[in-house]
């Protein structure tokens, strides 16, 4: 696309645009606002999305969630239609409706006024039908895609026959109109999608293309390719790949996608006769996965009624998210069809809530539907009448008029993502998706279970959905809960909205405390939907709390700007944690999550974790004594880039971007900070630097400061451009020439006989600066601007003018390469010391020069303006990302690595977690379902941890793992002997509580534990400022004997432990044994 091409070429015109506030917009896309979303979708999809016109019909829960998520995504227009006048119950599922709207204002008009606030780039309006009455095909024809959600007065639905007719119209247009249906009925929901007979998918999964290094290619009728065995290539049967830089078999370098088969961990075949291609030569050849467009056919809403599974679906079944309910989606399909049939026979009326007669009628309708399908002789996938599960059908029927808001949030995220898929990005739903949350209904006999039908009676309030689903006592229970929400970013905003809708913490005794120390940035507005442009710079927690309270004035919410951690335990003290009923994390870093997890284990409070990454998300339930905690299982750390790869042997764009980020840090931050330190204390700085043990590092620091001081003393714009031009020559020409001098292109490893430049080592090519290359001039322009910022030099208004830059740089010299005697490591296992023979000499000369400057030009030195750059990824006017993009892509050109657009560089260099509103909304909906389960007597089989990927319609729900148990062992590898667990099978949730006093001595505590546990105490240890220290270990530290007669509290304080006045306990770990060997016991809680 043009959008993509403009970013790949990075023309000087685009570079100039990036220097102004308007730089955020590229090809009609505000790259600042949409930065995280672009990181997920890419510019090509964004370009298609901003041209899309969407109609959303029905503005109860699913409809408003879809509208919100889609408007944040940024299509051209979102039009809403639901002429029903607002009802009181709507306030519990549509957060943009207010009490003043009830009985007076249409849902669509009231909603449109608020939805349009989400994104000024999107035209949002309420539809007035062409015929002046109700929706018709003339209205649908104006849109690219239409979404039908729950609509109309409470208890009524649009006839399925109308939806089928609308669908037929949409799919038979010359350019098919996308068609989606979504509904939540009680504690279950569904979505259906039809993109026509020939929808084209350009990218089925959205993943970055995998690249592998080739180790060998075998000629023959079938070409066999082997990749390096250091790691799996990750390709799959049926993938298409493109070859690059293959030597000896040039035919493979034609750029044509080739389909692979017979895939193994380190190889694959191509059904192509390569007998005549020549022999493969060991080189730096690579093979890259490529996306090939493919058509996908859909069937109509009517056709899928009896056959919900596409014939070409390799799975051959409806999506099953929860395999403990295998077959449930088909039963839900029958239940929903039966409810539609019931409504068609009853004037559009849904079954009355909790009405046995209506429920029985729906069950009979379900059986009749299946019987008719099988009796017709037509092919059908529906179950036989006797296989219809009456309890599932009845569960849907009895609650069909109500809507579980958490499920509405989930399906609102899913459906909005399906709308985005109309662009050709990702795999669309094929074609039905059902999900239920039946476990949220309290079991009979449970104290929160409704005792009779009267508890389900609604009274015309915003809580009617909750009361109608769970009963009045359960609704009151939710309202009185005290919840702590840690974080109010994307996840936190969604949580606060969900809490307000479900009534959590909304009663007189309820409370929601939210804390977040961050302020709002422009890039937050695209997915943190409680914030508006006027909120930028303000506290997230305060603004989010105020917005949530506006959605439900009953919400008892307190906003804090305090981080949660060891340093703030005086704020979040024992009374605070002990008074909570639930903790919900909305954090974006592992360290904070682990801390909160540990606190929840200590206070035995339920915690629900969640996180997102692009279209992927996960949830985890942490329930006291029932499940493992978050800290019990963690993902492995990501591999770091080896230093040699970074410095000299990159083979992926990530290596080039990390190298450019280091270059930025060294050139514009570290060297300037060192120069400022020298300016402020010349002799001390020189003396300290000369003591640096590594000669090469000494030289770099000293030369860097000499250069910085020299520049600062004489800098004007021309000098800045000259210096930028020198940096280009050094990094992209001289250093590359030096590397090739040390290791020529034909260099062969003497020990192995293998060419040095093979495998991951790609022989680079020097770049000579050219005034005719926009990328070269772009690097110089942004580098010069950064240098000017370092030294307080005004950047001229024509800083990016291509002709001015050509004129300035044309006469600047390009010194010829002169080889030096420099040691360069050949790999990570090379223990050679890098540097030049003259490092010591040059370092001393630089030090002498600096001393001379300090002595002869003291006044000028003291007056120098030096301002180190502080890397900021989200300011498009500061040149930071522009420099790194230019520097990394030039580095990639050195090594023949494909370049990437600026937004991709920003994501990697800024370590930005790609995020979109759809995933966030969906995953917080799932968390809401788990919250509802938490407040019953929880059972592990009721809870679900979930991993999902909206891009490929993958939903994996599983029962949480139980807590890890400590058990007795005949041989323990840590103690190197037998180990007895006491009590057997204790978990991290267990502890031993010792009731003592401030006067209790160490010996008294030791004897108390020993007597109660019938063990000998070897070590008592405590944690001080995150570090484990031995408080009492006389075998290892005889001096500890002196502590025996001292109070435990005094010893702890002496060791540096902070014991606030309100804290009346100390946690300890104990190492103990008996006559048979070591004994493991739970942690000790010493209370005083």
3-state SS of 418-469 is HHHHHHCECCCCCCEEEEECHHHCCCCCCCCCCCCHHHHCCCCCCCHHHHHH
Rounded to whole angstroms, the Cα distance separating 924 from 610 reads: 8
Cβ burial of 968 (10 Å; 0-12, 13-18, 19+) is: middle
Catalytic residue among 93, 370, 644, 921: 644
Residue 584 near residue 486 (C-beta atoms within 8 A): yes
Residue 158 near residue 63 (C-beta atoms within 8 A): no
Strands (E), 988-1076: 991-995, 1016-1024, 1027-1032, 1065-1074
Nearest to 597 by CA among 565, 562, 631, 633: 631
How far are the Cα atoms of 26, 285, 646 from residue 215, in angstroms, in the given order? 41, 8, 22
- Separation of first and last alpha carbons in the chain: 70
The set of long-range contacts for 1025-1032, using a CB threshold of 8 Å and a minimum separation of 24, is 1025/566, 1025/1056, 1026/566, 1028/1069, 1029/1055, 1031/1002, 1031/1055, 1031/1068, 1032/1002, 1032/1006
Structure tokens at 1051: 């010893």
- The number of helix segments (H) and strand segments (E) in the chain equals 34, 35
644: helix, strand or coil: helix
Q: 617 forms bridges with which residues in the sheet?
A: 612, 948
Structure tokens at 1055: 């060791």
CB burial readout 22-51, b (16+ within 10 A) else e: ebbbbbebbbbbbbbbbbbbbbbbbbbbbe
Rounded to whole angstroms, the Cα distance separating 895 from 162 reads: 60
Structure tokens at 609: 């974790």
644 catalytically annotated? yes
Rounded to whole angstroms, the Cα distance separating 178 from 174 reads: 12
Side-chain-side CA neighbours of 747 within 13 Å: the count stands at 15
Nearest to 497 by CA among 900, 924, 169, 855: 924
Cβ burial of 368 (10 Å; 0-12, 13-18, 19+) is: middle
Residue 599 CB partners (closer than 8 Å, separation 6+): 564, 572, 577, 605
Q: 1067 forms bridges with which residues in the sheet?
A: 1085
Residue 448 CB partners (closer than 8 Å, separation 6+): 442, 470, 471, 473, 474, 477, 935, 936
CA 453 to chain centre: 43
Rounded to whole angstroms, the Cα distance separating 907 from 464 reads: 44
Q: If you write DSSP's letter for every residue of 131-165 in order, what string do you get? A: TSSS--HHHHTT-SEEEE-S-SSTTB---HHHHHH
Residue 293 near residue 200 (C-beta atoms within 8 A): yes
Tally the residues of the chain.
Answer: 1088
Structure tokens at 415: 């459906």
244: helix, strand or coil: strand
**CB neighbourhood size of 113 (10 A):** 15
Residue 274 near residue 280 (C-beta atoms within 8 A): no
Q: If you write DSSP's letter for every residue of 607-625 in order, what string do you get? A: EEEEEEETTEEEEEEE-TT
Active site residues: 644
């Amino acid at each position: 696309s043009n959008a993509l091409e403009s970013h790949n070429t990075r023309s000087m015109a685009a570079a100039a645009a990036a220097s102004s506030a308007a730089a955020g917009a590229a090809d009609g896309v505000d790259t600042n606002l949409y930065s995280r979303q672009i990181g997920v979708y890419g510019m090509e999809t964004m370009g298609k999305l901003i041209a899309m016109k969407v109609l959303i019909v029905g503005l109860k829960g699913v409809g408003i969630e879809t509208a919100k998520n889609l408007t944040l995504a940024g299509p051209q227009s979102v039009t809403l239609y639901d002429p029903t006048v607002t009802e009181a119950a709507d306030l519990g599922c549509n957060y943009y409706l207010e009490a003043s709207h009830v009985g007076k204002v249409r849902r669509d008009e009231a909603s449109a006024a608020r939805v349009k606030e989400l994104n000024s780039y999107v035209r949002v309006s309420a539809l007035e039908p062409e015929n002046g009455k109700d929706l018709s095909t003339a209205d649908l024809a104006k849109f690219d895609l239409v979404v039908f959600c729950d609509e109309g007065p409470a208890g009524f639905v649009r006839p399925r026959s109308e939806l089928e007719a609308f669908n037929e119209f949409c799919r038979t247009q010359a350019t098919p109109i996308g068609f989606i249906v979504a509904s939540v009925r009680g504690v279950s929901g569904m979505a259906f999608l039809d993109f026509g007979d020939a929808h084209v998918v350009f990218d089925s999964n959205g993943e970055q293309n995998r690249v592998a290094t080739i180790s060998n290619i075998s000629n023959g009728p079938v070409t066999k390719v082997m990749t390096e065995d250091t790691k799996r290539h990750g390709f799959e049967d049926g993938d298409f790949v493109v070859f690059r830089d293959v030597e000896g078999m040039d035919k493979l370098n034609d750029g044509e996608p080739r389909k692979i088969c017979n895939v193994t961990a380190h190889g694959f075949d191509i059904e192509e006769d390569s007998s005549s291609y020549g022999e493969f030569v060991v080189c730096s050849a690579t093979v890259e996965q490529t996306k090939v467009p493919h058509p996908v056919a859909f069937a109509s809403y009517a056709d899928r009624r009896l056959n919900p599974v596409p014939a070409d679906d390799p799975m051959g079944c409806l999506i099953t998210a929860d395999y403990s309910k295998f077959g449930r989606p088909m039963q839900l399909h029958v239940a929903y069809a039966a409810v539609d049939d019931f409504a068609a026979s009853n004037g559009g009326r849904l079954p009355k809530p909790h009405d046995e007669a209506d429920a029985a009628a729906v069950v009979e309708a379900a059986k009749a539907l299946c019987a008719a399908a099988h009796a017709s002789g037509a092919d059908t996938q529906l179950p036989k009448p006797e296989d219809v599960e009456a309890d599932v059908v009845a569960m849907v029927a009895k609650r069909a008029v109500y809507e579980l808001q958490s499920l509405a949030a989930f399906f609102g995220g899913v459906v909005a993502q399906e709308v985005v898929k109309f662009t050709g990005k990702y795999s669309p739903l094929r074609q039905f998706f059902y999900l239920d949350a039946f476990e949220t209904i309290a079991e009979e006999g449970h104290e929160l279970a409704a005792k009779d039908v009267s508890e389900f009676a609604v009274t015309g309030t915003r809580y009617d959905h909750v009361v109608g689903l769970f009963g009045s006592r359960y609704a009151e229970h939710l309202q009185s809960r005290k919840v702590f929400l840690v974080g109010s970013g994307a996840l936190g905003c969604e949580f606060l909205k969900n809490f307000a809708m479900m009534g959590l913490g909304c009663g007189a005794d309820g409370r929601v405390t939210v804390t977040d120390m961050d302020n709002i940035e422009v890039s937050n507005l695209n997915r943190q939907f409680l914030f508006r442009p006027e909120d930028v710079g303000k506290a997230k927690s305060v603004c989010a709390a105020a917005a949530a309270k506006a959605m439900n004035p009953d919400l008892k919410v307190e906003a804090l700007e305090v981080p949660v951690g060891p340093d703030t335990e005086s704020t979040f003290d024992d009374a605070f944690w002990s008074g909570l009923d639930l903790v919900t994390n909305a954090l974006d870093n592992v360290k904070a999550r682990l801390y909160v997890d540990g606190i929840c284990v200590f206070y035995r409070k339920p915690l629900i974790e969640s996180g997102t990454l692009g279209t992927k998300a996960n949830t985890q339930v942490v329930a006291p004594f029932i499940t493992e905690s978050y800290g019990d299982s963690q993902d492995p750390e990501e591999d770091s880039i080896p230093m040699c790869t970074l410095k000299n042997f990159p083979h992926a764009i990530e290596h080039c971007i990390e190298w450019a980020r280091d270059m930025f840090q060294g050139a514009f931050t570290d060297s300037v900070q060192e120069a400022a330190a020298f300016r402020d204390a010349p002799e001390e700085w020189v003396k300290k630097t000369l003591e640096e043990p590594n000669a090469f590092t000494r030289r770099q620091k000293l030369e860097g400061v000499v250069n910085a001081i020299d520049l600062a003393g004489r800098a004007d714009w021309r000098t800045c451009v000259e210096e930028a031009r020198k940096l280009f020559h050094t990094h992209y020409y001289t250093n590359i020439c030096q590397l090739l001098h040390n290791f020529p292109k034909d260099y062969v490893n003497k020990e192995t006989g293998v060419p040095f430049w093979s495998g991951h080592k790609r022989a680079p090519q020097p770049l000579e600066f050219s005034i005719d290359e926009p990328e070269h001039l772009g690097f110089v322009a942004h580098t010069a601007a950064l240098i000017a910022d370092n030294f307080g030099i005004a950047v001229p208004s024509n800083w990016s003018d291509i002709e001015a830059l050509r004129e300035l740089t044309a006469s600047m010299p390009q010194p010829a390469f002169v080889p030096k005697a420099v040691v360069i490591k050949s790999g990570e296992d090379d223990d050679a010391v890098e540097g030049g023979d003259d490092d010591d000499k040059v370092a001393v000369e630089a030090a002498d020069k600096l001393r001379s400057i300090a002595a002869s030009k003291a006044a000028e030195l003291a007056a120098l303006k030096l301002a180190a750059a502080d890397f900021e990824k989200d300011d498009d006017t500061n040149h930071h990302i522009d420099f790194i993009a230019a520097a990394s892509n030039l580095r990639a050109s050195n090594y023949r690595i494909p370049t990437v657009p600026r937004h991709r560089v920003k994501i990697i260099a800024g370590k930005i977690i790609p995020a979109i509103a759809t995933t966030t909304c969906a995953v917080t909906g799932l968390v809401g379902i788990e919250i509802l389960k938490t407040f019953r007597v929880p059972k592990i089989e009721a809870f679900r941890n979930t991993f999902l990927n909206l891009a490929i319609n993958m939903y994996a729900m599983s029962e949480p793992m139980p807590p890890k148990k400590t058990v007795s062992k005949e041989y323990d590898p840590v103690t190197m002997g037998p180990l007895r667990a006491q009590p057997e099978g204790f978990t991290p949730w267990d502890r031993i509580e010792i009731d003592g006093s401030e006067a209790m001595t160490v010996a008294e505590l030791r004897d108390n534990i020993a007597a109660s546990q019938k063990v000998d105490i070897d070590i008592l240890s405590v944690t001080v400022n995150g570090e484990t220290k031995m408080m009492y270990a006389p075998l290892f530290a005889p001096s500890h004997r002196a502590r025996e007669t001292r109070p435990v509290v005094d010893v702890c304080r002496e060791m540096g432990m902070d014991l606030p006045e309100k804290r009346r306990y100390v946690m300890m770990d104990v190492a103990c044994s008996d006559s048979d060997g070591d004994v493991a016991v739970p942690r000790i809680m010493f209370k005083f």
